[in-house]
Chain A
Amino acid sequence: MSEWNYVIAAYAVTWGVIFGYGLYLVARKRSARQRITALEQQ
């Protein structure tokens, strides 16, 4: 592999982690909010 392939792989992994963890946080926040709303409506 050329050196650029390793560089591109490193930046792809970095952005994958940034977006992946960001989506995970959004999903957990939405889930917690929905749980609170459901509990308050009971």
Chain B
Amino acid sequence: MRSASSGRDARQQPRWVAIIGIVGFLAIIAAQVHGFTMSPPDRDMGNLQKIMYVHVPAAWMSFICFFVVLVGSVRYLWKRSERSDLLAASAAETGAVLTALTLLLGSIWGRPTWGVWWTWDARLTSTAVLLVIFVGYLALRSFTDDPERRALWSAAVGIFGALNVPIVYMSVKWWRTLHQLPSSPNTLDPAYTLALRLNAIAALLLVIYVIATRFHVAQLEADADALAERQALSFDDRAGKEPLEVAHV
């Protein structure tokens, strides 16, 4: 496994990340203001339709995060690169947060439209399973001290979890239960497409920023672990003892 600290300055985050973060933050405010002020109430749902501008982008962005997990995990198994493992872990954490947000927003939307906060609908259940898989992924990482074993097991769970995403996406077509068919610019009234697109683009910028920032934090933590291990080894060399194992934090 190659060190995450090789060939880079661990203290500095690239400037483009901060720029994307600022642009994304301003863009999401602008997109939400546009959605509130410019898009008309839905014929059936009224103003509840505005929840779509946060619920649908959150779901789409979680899918993108899990695609990054898939790419990072496969690349780790192929190259054994620590950077790929850290990227997959960063995207998995962001994706889990977004999946939880998607379920919360769906619940808030479901209560006034379906009459229930939760139902064992195919889309809701498969999304909940996806969340459980990635909470398990994060728990696995926190319980495993050995970095190589942690990366290997995480890659396996990450690939398994990411392969669940097509099931979540297709669930509303395969099992016609309560959830509506996927919302996209192709299935929406044109009055709502611009606001949905703007919110999705803004959310994408924010997600790129968050994954990049989480990746930077993971690199810093890996550097701190490597530094602690080197110091423990040099201390034990001086003391003439067997080196102590350094627990990953």
Contact = CB atoms under 8 A, between A and B. Distances in A.
Physical interaction between A and B: yes
B68 interface: no
Given A7-B48, A13-B105, A36-B10, A42 B217 contact: no
B108 A35 contact: no
**Contact residues on A (Cβ < 8 Å of other chain), bracket:** 20 to 34
B51 A36 contact: no
B59 interface: no
Interface in B196-222: 206, 210, 213-214, 216-217, 220-221
B180 to A, nearest CB: 17
B148 to A, nearest CB: 21
B201 to A, nearest CB: 16
Nearest to A40: B227
Contacts of B94: 21
B183 to A, nearest CB: 15
Contact of B58 (A9, A14, A25, A39): A14
B153 to A, nearest CB: 22
Contacts, number: 77
A25 B214 contact: yes
A7 B224 contact: no
Contacts of A18: 28, 206
Nearest to B216: A29
Given A3-B46, A6-B112, A25-B213, A32 B224 contact: yes
Contact of A25 (B10, B11, B28, B210): B210
Interface string A2-38: 0110110111011001100110010011001101100
Interface in B32-54: 32, 45-48, 50-51, 54
A13 B101 contact: yes
26 contacts: A4-B47, A6-B48, A6-B108, A6-B111, A7-B47, A7-B48, A7-B51, A10-B50, A10-B51, A11-B32, A13-B101, A17-B97, A17-B100, A18-B206, A21-B94, A25-B210, A28-B221, A29-B216, A32-B217, A35-B221, A35-B228, A36-B224, A36-B227, A39-B224, A39-B231, A40-B227
Interface of A: 1, 3-4, 6-7, 9-11, 13-14, 17-18, 21-22, 25, 28-29, 32-33, 35-36, 39-40, 42
